[in-house]
Amino acid sequence: MISTLIAAPYTLARLPLLIVDRRLSDKLPETSAPRVTLDRVIGSADKVAGALLGNPGIARRGADRIERTDKLVAAAKLEHEAAARREQARQTAASGRETAAQKREAAADRAASGRAEADAPEARRKQQAKAKASQAAATKKAAADKRAASRAATVKKRKQNVESAANAKKKAAQREAKTELDDAKKSKQSAAEARADAKQLSDLAEAKKQERKQD
């Protein structure tokens, strides 16, 4: 109970930071630099305050906030890397198509000069080579697209899991903070009532004492 009473002023002192956090949450994504910095500041402050006040609940709340922020940043990084891989795969596929087109153009030029027409088997081999080149490019692109899609799906799933866990922890922390404030108010009220009762008893004792003196 004493720890809760001591923690109450700190809970009130951190309210401005929470107000700023709510305002930023409406305007900026969770992985933006301002929100990441603010979340880490609030989390670090809670950890230090919890240690100094001997309140493991506050310290755990700070640690959870920092852990959530780190996971969101890591998920955003993975998503960015997946996007870079998809772009690289697209460029690789485009390069493969360009190479195949160049080969087809070169074969057409040779055919126009009469060398391909002079040898039917050679023409068939060239046709087969062109077909293989096109098939290889298509196969390579399909494989790259499949890998990129798989990575993107994995990153998205991780991000959803992190966000779900983070939201659950945030709601639990809010409920815990409200409970602590309610307990502090009740303790303050109980103390006031106890002081009033003590004063009433003191006044009554003094009145009896005066009556005895008069007798």
Query: Rounded to the nearest 10 degrees, what angle do helices 120-214 and 2-13 cross at?
Result: 120
Q: How buried is residue 189: exposed, middle or buried, by Cβ count under 10 Å (0-12/13-18/19+)?
A: exposed
- Give the separation between CA 163 and CA 67, rounded to whole angstroms: 12
Q: What is the pTM of this model?
A: 0.36
CA distances from 215 to 204, 208, 209, 210, 211 (A): 17, 11, 10, 9, 6
For 4-70, the DSSP string reads: HHHHHHHHHHTHHHHHHHHHHHHHS-TTSHHHHHHHHHHHHHHHHHHHHHT-HHHHHHHHHHHHHHH
> Rounded distance, CA 202 to CA 208, Å?
10
Percent above pLDDT 70 for the chain: 89
Percent share of the chain, pLDDT over 90: 10
pLDDT at 142: 92
For residue 118, what pLDDT band results from cuts at 50, 70 and 90?
Answer: low
pLDDT at 2: 42
Q: How confident is the model at residue 1 (pLDDT cuts 50, 70, 90)?
A: very low
Give mean pLDDT, residues 60-73: 88
